Amino acid sequence: MKKVKVSFDAWVQLLGMLGVIGSLVFVGLEMRQSQRIALVSQIQQRSYAGSAEAHAFTEANLDWFSSKFSLPPTSELTSEQKASRNSENVSWFFYEADYFQYSQGLMTEPVWQAKLRAMEVNLKRCEYPEIYEMRSALVEERFKNILDEMPSQCEQ
């Protein structure tokens, strides 16, 4: 059997190539994380814009949901009810952004669990089921499944 003698230069070149490959892998992972952060930021900006619009509707004593979805309420709404409905829609914007942030691995598990407890209270309200039905139909399927698995706060 022949012995293969490897020179010092070959070892240096091998280590150099491994270093370059490792650096490229690291850069690729960083780019992927940066893309996820940019997507989450974009979703959050959309939620801020939607909530600002709903707040403007509240200031104008209008119902955001009725206007956006062309679904008039079943009865005349008071100013307080319009504000409450608008607030519920604002909650939807924020919780959708929270879910996306969590799904991208950018939210810790304890924070997500706290958000889920808040969602049980804020999104499963029985006052305006039409809002829940419409908004839950428009979210990502995995998020909808999470919402549907939450216990209902409605009296049976």
User: Residue 2 domain-assigned?
Assistant: no
Instruction: Average the pLDDT over 101-110 and give the result.
Output: 93
- Which pLDDT score, from 0 to 100, does residue 126 have? 80
CA distances from 107 to 4, 50, 95, 113, 146 (A): 52, 22, 12, 10, 16
Alpha-carbon gap, residue 46 to 30, rounded angstroms: 24
User: Residue 3 domain-assigned?
Assistant: no
User: Residue 86 domain-assigned?
Assistant: yes
User: Residue 155 domain-assigned?
Assistant: no
- Which pLDDT score, from 0 to 100, does residue 155 have? 67
The pTM assigned to this predicted structure is: 0.75
CA distances from 121 to 31, 130, 137 (A): 37, 16, 19
User: Residue 7 domain-assigned?
Assistant: no
Range(s) of the domain holding residue 129: 12-149
User: Residue 135 domain-assigned?
Assistant: yes
User: Residue 43 domain-assigned?
Assistant: yes
Place of tokens 């062309």: 70
Domain count, the chain: 1
Instruction: Average the pLDDT over 44-71 and give the result.
Output: 92
**Which residue in 111, 67, 107, 74 sits closest to 89, CA to CA?**
67
Instruction: Report pLDDT digits (tens) over 61-91.
Output: 999 999 998 887 777 999 999 999 999 999 9
